[in-house]
Each structure stands twice: as structure tokens, then as C-alpha cells.
Amino acid sequence: MKQDLLNDPVFGMAAEQFDRVADFLKLEEQVRERCKWPKRLITVSLPVTMDDGRTEVFFGHRVQHHLSRGPVKGGLRFHPKVNLGEVAALAMWMNWKCALMGLPYGGGKGGIMCDPRTMSAGEQERLTRRFAQEIGQFIGPEVDVMAPDVGTNAQHMAWILDTYSTREGRFVPEVITGKPVELQGSEGRTQATGHGVAFLATRALNKLNIPVQGASAVIQGFGNVGSYAASTMAFYGMKVRGISDITGAIWNSSGIDPAALRKHVAETGGVARFPEAEAINAEELLLQECDVLVPAALERVITAENAPDLKCRILAEAANGPTTPEADAIIEERGDIFLLPDVLCNAGGVTVSYFEWVQNLQRFSWTKKEVLSKLETKLNEAFERLLSFTSEKSCSHRLGALALGVETVARVKKTRGLFP
Ligand code: GLU
């Protein structure tokens, strides 16, 4: 099993990062092993009746990295290429992210291999409900709380909530986060990840003495995270010059209007052919000069090939795992890029998920203003903690952020001891 996981390039990358951090922290062997490997890897087959009457079988995974500090927390992704190794890597990263942010959770992640872009709403609903039913016995408000991720949104969460609540015979909003507000979802959750990315980008700009007003940004990915990062950055007075998604990449040096682009995407299905910008090559987009580069799509897009040519001052990792360890080494060596590592940069989503769960458990709700201001406080604390740690230990932001997360988990494992 260990070797199967290590053979996956994304898990291999998460494991390599972990080993580096474990060496840095001088973790003792027993704790190190327990921190590294996932507790539960669940795979289920999901037969679904398609609109044309055929039955198609999909596969879904849920990985629970560990439950030592509380329920596991993390998204559920729909993507044609998702696999168990990738999901296990994403679960491990969620672990360090929750620990770094001081949230009482372990890390989890789920993925169903499917292409939501080619499926009707009815097909997606049947698939989501079947998954919720199949893994119903392994999730729960104190065990595993899912949330949206790539390819899923509040509606998918509503179907999971309904399926789980039907199984239980009562309304259980605290089993899922990122759900619609009318089902006791939290105000501010939809924009939380993108808002956090933009907020942290302004904190990094401040540290570099670059004025926020007029600072330029390039964003790869215009899904939930990329689009809200763009609108929040524009709200702060930044200029989002380039944006890409799977349909293509666009450029406008005077700044793209995220609201107009969102409308265009809703009508046409992608950013390509947006009338108020020019087309640009998607690979080239990452190499344009800008203050903030935001990879907001999938893993492993900043590589040894493009890292030497990046022309950004800040790399704000809105996606999980966008930078390979080889690229990390190049960025560290260059020393001219301020890295906002994924486990901090995109932690706005899971932090507001935590707020949502707390509100649900108390049957109480906060205003959007309260939510976003509590979010900024938490992100700022983690940002400052990271900067003091890295300057004290003279290490990179990547190593520092992961070390703060891993150290917290390792301490808990050690104190709890090993059963039996
Ligand atoms: N999918 C998001 C992430 O990768 C959010 C997870 C959550 O809210 O639980 O952080």
C-alpha cells in the first residue's frame, strides 16, 4: 500500500515535502510514521442511472488522514483524473492546513472520477447522493465533515446533507459545510477561499512595501477560488491583468473586470473570447511580469521548467499543491519570490467551514461582516506566526508552514501515546 501511494506523483510530492519537514523537526521514527500515512482509505463503486437509461459505474474515494485532533475536514472533488493517491495527498495537506490554522480537525479529502462538465444536474445529483449513501457510515459531524472542492459547489453539499439527514431521520446541518445559506450554511463561505487569498496577497504586498492600489495580478483558474480572488483583488484596487481556465487564457494590461468576466463565463462556459481582453498562450500567462501570481486550479503547474522564468514578486498558492518540490528548490534558491504556501494561502475556505460547523453546532448564525472579519484575524495571526517562525529558523515559507502544521500533529500523537 505504501509503495502504491508513493508511486502516485501527487502523493509522492506530499510525502517528499513531509520527509523534509520531519527531518527539519527531527521527528522521532515512531511519531513520524504515524503522521505520514493516512488512517482510512475508502473506495466505493457508484452505479448511477444516466439520463439515456444506461447504468454507469463511477468510483469515489475518501481518505481520512487522521482523527487524533478531531473529525477530519476537507473537500470533495469531481474531476475526470482524480485518483486515490492524489486524494490521499490532498488529505495529508488538509491535515497540516487545519493544524497550522489551529482548527480542531484532521485532514480529509474525497474525489469522484467523473466529468461534471458533461453531466446533467440530475446525473450529478444521483451520483452525489449515491456517494453520500455509500460512505454514510464513515462520515458524521464528529468523524468526517466534507465541503466543496474542484468541480463541486453548495448544491452538491445540499444533496449530501439531505441524503445523510434522511439516513439519520433528522436534520443534520453540521455534517457538511459550504452548503447553501438557507440550509444553515455560513454567510461568507462561498467567497471565503478567494477572499483569503486576496487578503493574504495584500499582507504580503505590505511586507514588500508594494502599494496595494494598482498592484498587478495574474490568476490561473477562474472557478470558485480564482473568481472570488479576482473580485476581491479588484475591490482592493489591484489590477487583475491575466486570467486563464481550461478554455484558454486572456490578457488586458489595464485590468480585467471580474464581474463582467463572470457574466461572460456564465453565458459561454469559459474565459475564452472575453471581448474586453486579448487571447494569450496559457503557459505564457504564468510567465508574465506581475506583482502577484495566483495558481488557482490543480496541482503541479509550477515546475522545474517554468520556475526559473517566473516574473512575479509574490506567488500566492490558491490551489493545493501547485508547486513541485523541484520548483520549490528553484524558488528558494532564487530568493526573489515571496511565497504564500497553499496550506496558508487557501486556508480561508476551511477556516470559514470551521465557523460554519461551530455555528451549526450552536444553532446560531453570524453576519457576513463578522465571518469575514474573524477570518481575516485568523489568517493574519497564522501569517505573522509563519513569518516569525521562518525568520527565527531561517527557513523557507513552505518548510515553515508545513513544519508548524506537522509539529502540532506530532505533539498530539506523542502525548496521546500509541494504543495498545
Ligand atoms: N476544499 C477546500 C480546501 O481544499 C475547503 C475544505 C473545507 O472547507 O473543508 O481547503
Pull the grid cell for residue 97.
492546513
Distance 213 CA to ligand 1 centre (A): 29
CB contact at 8 A, 379 and 200: yes
**CB of 350 sitting under 6 A from ligand 1:** yes
Whether 119 has a pLDDT exceeding 90, the answer reads: yes
How does pLDDT run across 311-341, given as a tens digit for each residue?
999 999 999 999 999 999 999 999 999 999 9
Residue 350 C-alpha to ligand 1 middle, in angstroms? 5
Three-state DSSP class for residue 396: coil
Angle between the 224-235 and 258-268 helix axes, to the nearest 10 degrees? Answer: 150
* DSSP states of 321-380: S-B-HHHHHHHHHH---EEE-HHHHTTHHHHHHHHHHHHHHHT----HHHHHHHHHHHHH
What pLDDT digit, counting tens, does each position of 369-381 carry? 999 999 999 999 9
Task: Give pLDDT, residue 116.
Answer: 97
Per-residue pLDDT band at 201 (split at 50, 70, 90): very high
In a domain, 42, yes or no: yes
Does any ligand 1 atom lie closer than 6 A to the CB of residue 196? Answer: no
pLDDT of 403 higher than 90: yes
What percent of the chain stands above pLDDT 90?
A: 99
Per-residue HEC secondary structure of 40-79 comes to: EEEEEEEEEECCCCCEEEEEEEEEECCCCCCCEEEEEEEE
Tell me whether residue 109 is one of the annotated catalytic residues.
Answer: yes
Q: CA 47, CA 350: separation in Å to the nearest integer?
A: 30
Find the domain containing 154 and state its range. 2-13+36-174
**Cβ of 177 less than 6 Å from ligand 1:** yes
User: What is the distance between the alpha carbons of residues 203 and 195, in angstroms, rounded to a whole number?
Assistant: 12
169 and 205, same domain (yes or no) = no
Kindly state whether residues 202 and 237 are assigned to the same domain.
yes
Q: How far apart are CA 319 and CA 342, in angstroms?
A: 6
Is residue 420 scored above 90 in pLDDT? no
The residue whose CA is least distant from atom 9 of ligand 1 is 74
pLDDT at res. 419: 87
Q: Are residues 6 and 89 in the same domain?
A: yes
Q: How many CB atoms lie within 10 A of CB 287?
A: 16
In the numeric block, which cell numbers belong to residue 68?
487524533
pLDDT tens for each residue of 18-31: 999 999 999 999 89
Q: What is the mean pLDDT of residues 295-310?
A: 97
Domain count across the chain: 2
What would the grid cell of residue 66 be?
Answer: 487522521
- Grade residue 414 by pLDDT with cuts at 50, 70 and 90: very high
74 Cβ inside 6 Å of ligand 1: yes
In this prediction, residues 289-309 reach a mean pLDDT of 97
Q: Which atom of ligand 1 is nearest to the CA of 352?
A: 8
Give the pLDDT score at 214: 97
Mean pLDDT, to the nearest integer, of 355-367?
98
Phi–psi pair at 99, nearest 5 degrees: -70, -45
What's the average model confidence in pLDDT over 215-228? Answer: 97
- Asked if residue 253 has pLDDT above 90, the reply is yes
Domain stops at, among 345, 374, 394: 345
Index of the ligand 1 atom closest to the CA of residue 346: 10
Instruction: Report pLDDT digits (tens) over 34-64.
Output: 999 999 999 999 999 999 999 999 999 999 9
In a domain, 372, yes or no: no
Active-site residue (options: 36, 73, 97, 109): 109
Question: Nearest CA to 103 among 398, 371, 316, 379?
Answer: 379
Instruction: Give me the CATH number covering residue 252.
Output: 3.40.50.720
pLDDT of 92-118, one tens digit each?
999 999 999 999 999 999 999 999 999
| Cα separation, 110 vs 84, whole angstroms | 9
| Nearest Cα residue to 184 out of 411, 358, 3, 391 | 358
Three-class SS of residue 297?
coil
pLDDT reported for residue 135: 97
Q: Is residue 320 in contact with ligand 1, taking CB distance under 6 Å? A: yes
- Shared-domain flag, residues 216 and 163: no
Alpha helices in 9-153 (DSSP H): 9-25, 29-36, 84-100, 121-134
The CATH number linked to 140 is 3.40.50.10860
Question: In the predicted model, what is the mean pLDDT of the chain?
Answer: 97
Same domain, 281 and 155: no
Q: Which of 289, 317, 345 is the last residue of a domain?
A: 345
Can you give the pLDDT at residue 140?
98
What is the average per-residue pLDDT within 351-356? 98
Residue appearing with cell numbers 487564457:
249
d(CA 271, CA 208): 31
> From CA 272, how far away is CA 255, in angstroms rounded?
16
In a domain, 362, yes or no: no
Kind of pairing, strands 338-340 and 312-316? parallel
Same-domain status, 40 and 164: yes
